[in-house]
Structure 1
Amino acid sequence: MSNNDFFIGRQPILDGNSQVYGYELLFRGGFDPNEAEFDSAEGATATVLHNAMMNLGLETIVGDRKAFINFPQSFFCIHDEPSFSNNIIVIEMLEDVEPTEEVITGVMSLKEKGYTIALDDFIFKQKLVPLIKLADLIKFDVQYVKLENLPVLFNKVKTVTRAKIVAERVETKEMFAACKEAGADYFQGYFFAKPEIITGQQLSVNQLNLMQLLEKIADEDISLDDLVNVIEKDVGLSHKLMKFAEQYRNARMPTFSSLKEVMSLFGLKRVQSWATMLSLAALNDVLPEVFNLARVRAIFMRRLAQNKGLTNVDSYYLAGLFSLLDTLMGKALEELLSQLPINDAIKIGLVEGQGVYGDLLATAQRYENIAVDIEEPGVAALYFEAIAEASKQAI
């Protein structure tokens, strides 16, 4: 197991007809489906979001179903716009979250923004009534409940809310039948499926670039350009941010040709939120040497585009940065680019070598192979300048 391996636990949640309604996504540190050791609830949540949205992509893990993810108390006290959209993720409130005024205000704000709220491992307490009334789903751990007591338990909650009931830890056919008869709407447990482990390879993030990113997002006077300058230095950061944009993007939004376009569309606050979550989950990444070649290629292609008087020169930087994704991730470049919201001209240039992007990429590759054209001394100078610039702050 390498430092670049990542893991997500996934367990289905089914309706009364045994059709999948969604999946609970769980923090896992390895191949053991029951292992979940972590230093903090915030870090565990950030890691699950990071792996689901910036590495694999939610569409790969849950398709068009819901993704249930646990969130700690601190999440409900921030009151900022979440770093994810409201159409797929169900926000599970952990059982130890206290119903303080600040938490209740936070949940109300999330509801107003269209987010779905679930109460996890629920035990009925009078102080939880404000949260019960706000919840869309309430999850009951039925493992240690006598089957004959289930109707009373479920009906007590239904007197104060219209929330759907999820029976979790359903272990046997008998438990499933009893929960269904008592009025549960959805079901989760070993009777249906044990948590499975989904794993994959993620791109590394350079520690220096990550620390600079943390410094920037803590700056009250941060600008989009400041964030762009840090993120675009690192293939890992750039790829993760673009993957996140794809999760949040809807059909009416355009594809992108530069990181600045992504940030301009989604706004500074949302990108700061993404960057914060990314930073929490990426602190152990290790950088392979090949990243430096991608950085040189990106700088050179942008300089060459400027030299040729082309427009949108940042798009050539992005093209160069992502041109080595197949080498870095061990998958076909066409497959990897299809999962990112990059415009078709860049994709065609990188995959098929066509158009202006393909031409500039071919030029970069010639210079990487020491095929310097003596008739283009200016181009050679641009390449050596790119090497020098990348060396000043190696990625």
Structure 2
Amino acid sequence: MSTSSLHTVLVGRQGIHELVGGIAGGLVGYELLFRQLPIESLQDEQDHEAATAQVLSAVFGDFGVDDISGRLPLYVNAPRGYVVGDVPLPDVPDRVVVEVLEHVGVDAEVLEGVERLRAQGYRVAIDDWDGDARREPLLRVADVVKIDLSRLGQAALHQVVEQARAVAPHAQVLVERVETELDLELAAAAGADLVQGFFLDRPRTVATSTLTPSEVACVRLLAALAAEAEASEVEALVSSDPGLALRVLRTASSPAGVGRPVRSVLQAVVLLGPRILSAWVVLMVLGGSRKVPREHVVTMLARAGACGRLEPEHRDVAYTAGLLSAVSEVLGSDPAETLRSSGVDEAVQAAVLHGEGPVGSALRAVVGHERGAPAVVMSNGYTPFEVSMAYLAALREAARTASAVDG
């Protein structure tokens, strides 16, 4: 059990191209790749589920899905839990292709899960099909059949593609591991619809520093959501953990949420609603975390709380502005980039970056107090005494919250 964690998130992607007249054409999607550890280190189903959770949380909560995909669909590796519905997927079926991994056994529950996913609007790809008749029932309900060229010879590739056409004539055939011009010619000759591999597009890894939520905060939030707690109670739980608050803001503004800027954590909570919020918290828990020093958490919460106390008429917005300002400092990131990726609206960004409006004045006064600059406090319309009292009260509350979240 720990507080928010501070670490670098790595996500890879590789382009998928259409094949027209034997020539590789434009991009039609990307496969998301797990990059935190070597894929060979994933030993069991739980490891694979955690890896997928980390990728999904990072893409939708850290980077921003449009920054990764450019609005193209993303192929996401799906262990059994995601296929049968034990673990949630992002509620954006037009942006996600569910790729059923090779090791997922074919049984009634898996087949029902695939049918349910397709009924919800997701496209489904079957990974690494090599002609195994035991997996043919999956092909019949799939939209894409992926075939690994590196595992097959030229004759075998033709045979496996023909089998795929016979079993699933409605499905597209994607040949992956296209490493050379000859491989591309082989895929075209075999009649592939889509191709993927180093010859066309080498995987690109992107990285960012982020705060991931604590397990304790996530579990408490899930319990509150299950008990149908009021939005104000849910907002308080989210705001108690900086990593959780940042993820919720980013998720709310992403296509997986409402797809537009938000002004505060409370607004994000209300707009997401309990169902979508619960699904994302589950992914956050599965993704895991590492501990960040408690004093960093206290500092972030104290700044946010002080801003909210100084500007009670806009408490939610002021708290959010203070929190994002502090998060940017802890991450060592460009404040403008942190604000952009968080999905908050232009008014909040202007308050943090330029001190505009009453929220901006409150934030600048609090930061001035933290840095021992009374002139800055007074130039923003406050007395050092009132800011000091607000900060001390917020600091006490932040210390209590950090202790509680520490578990």
Q: 1:76 to 1:50 in 2, by over 3 A?
A: same
Equivalent of 1:358 in 360, 363, 379:
360
Once residues 171 and 379 of structure 1 are traced to their aligned partners in structure 2, the CA distance between those partners, rounded to angstroms, is 62
Q: 1:3 to 1:331 in 2, by over 3 A?
A: closer
Match of 2:131 in 1: 124
Contact 1:99 1:128 in 2 (8 A): yes
Superposed CA deviations along residues 96-126 of structure 1, whole A, max 9, x for unmatched, are 2122222222222211221121111113344
Contact 1:216 1:222 in 2 (8 A): no
Where 1:124 maps in the other structure, the secondary structure is coil
Once residues 158 and 296 of structure 2 are traced to their aligned partners in structure 1, the CA distance between those partners, rounded to angstroms, is 60
Greater shift after overlay, 121-130 or 274-283?
121-130
Superposed CA deviations along residues 65-121 of structure 1, whole A, max 9, x for unmatched, are 222121101112226763341222221100121222222222222112211211111
Equivalent of 1:14 in 8, 13, 17:
17
Matched ranges for 1:40-59 at <5 A? 40-59=47-66
Contact 2:252 2:262 in 1 (8 A): no
Match of 1:4 in 2: 7
Superposed CA deviations along residues 298-322 of structure 1, whole A, max 9, x for unmatched, are 111212222xxx1x52121111111
Number of aligned residues: 383
Contact 1:79 1:109 in 2 (8 A): no
Q: CA deviation at 1:204?
A: 4.9
Once residues 230 and 93 of structure 1 are traced to their aligned partners in structure 2, the CA distance between those partners, rounded to angstroms, is 35
Contact 2:6 2:331 in 1 (8 A): no
Where 1:255 maps in the other structure, the secondary structure is coil
Where 1:134 maps in the other structure, the secondary structure is coil
Query: Are 1:182 and 2:205 an aligned pair?
Result: no
Equivalent of 2:283 in 263, 277, 281:
277
Greater shift after overlay, 70-79 or 192-201?
192-201
Structure ranking higher in helix proportion: 2
Equivalent of 2:171 in 142, 163, 168:
163
Superposed CA deviations along residues 305-340 of structure 1, whole A, max 9, x for unmatched, are 22xxx1x52121111111124322333212221223
Match of 2:222 in 1: 217
Cα RMSD between the aligned structures? Answer: 2.7
Superposed CA deviations along residues 265-324 of structure 1, whole A, max 9, x for unmatched, are 222121111011112213224247444222111111212222xxx1x5212111111112
Once residues 399 and 315 of structure 2 are traced to their aligned partners in structure 1, the CA distance between those partners, rounded to angstroms, is 21
Match of 1:110 in 2: 117
Match of 1:198 in 2: 206
Letter in 2 for 1:266: L
Once residues 134 and 236 of structure 2 are traced to their aligned partners in structure 1, the CA distance between those partners, rounded to angstroms, is 48
Query: Are 1:321 and 2:326 an aligned pair?
Result: no
Once residues 62 and 294 of structure 2 are traced to their aligned partners in structure 1, the CA distance between those partners, rounded to angstroms, is 17
Matched ranges for 1:380-395 at <5 A? 380-394=388-402
Letter in 1 for 2:62: N
Query: Are 1:28 and 2:30 an aligned pair?
Result: no
Please give the TM-score of this superposition, normalised by the length of structure 1.
0.87
Equivalent of 1:230 in 225, 231, 237:
237
Match of 1:76 in 2: 83
Matched ranges for 1:318-357 at <5 A? 318-357=320-359
Contact 1:28 1:36 in 2 (8 A): no
Q: 1:195 to 1:36 in 2, by over 3 A?
A: farther
Greater relative CO, 1 or 2 (CA 8 Å, sep 6+): 2
Once residues 80 and 197 of structure 1 are traced to their aligned partners in structure 2, the CA distance between those partners, rounded to angstroms, is 25
Ranges in structure 1 where 5+ consecutive residues have no aligned partner: none
Q: 1:287 to 1:88 in 2, by over 3 A?
A: farther
Contact 1:204 1:286 in 2 (8 A): no
Where 1:201 maps in the other structure, the secondary structure is strand
Q: 1:290 to 1:385 in 2, by over 3 A?
A: same
Query: Are 1:298 and 2:300 an aligned pair?
Result: no
Q: 1:56 to 1:253 in 2, by over 3 A?
A: closer
Greater shift after overlay, 3-12 or 65-74?
3-12
Q: CA deviation at 1:192?
A: 2.7
Greater shift after overlay, 187-196 or 356-365?
187-196
Q: CA deviation at 1:247?
A: 2.8
Letter in 1 for 2:277: V
Once residues 88 and 66 of structure 1 are traced to their aligned partners in structure 2, the CA distance between those partners, rounded to angstroms, is 4
Letter in 2 for 1:214: V
Q: 1:6 to 1:260 in 2, by over 3 A?
A: same
Where 1:24 maps in the other structure, the secondary structure is strand
Q: CA deviation at 1:156?
A: 2.2
Once residues 79 and 8 of structure 1 are traced to their aligned partners in structure 2, the CA distance between those partners, rounded to angstroms, is 24
Contact 1:257 1:315 in 2 (8 A): yes
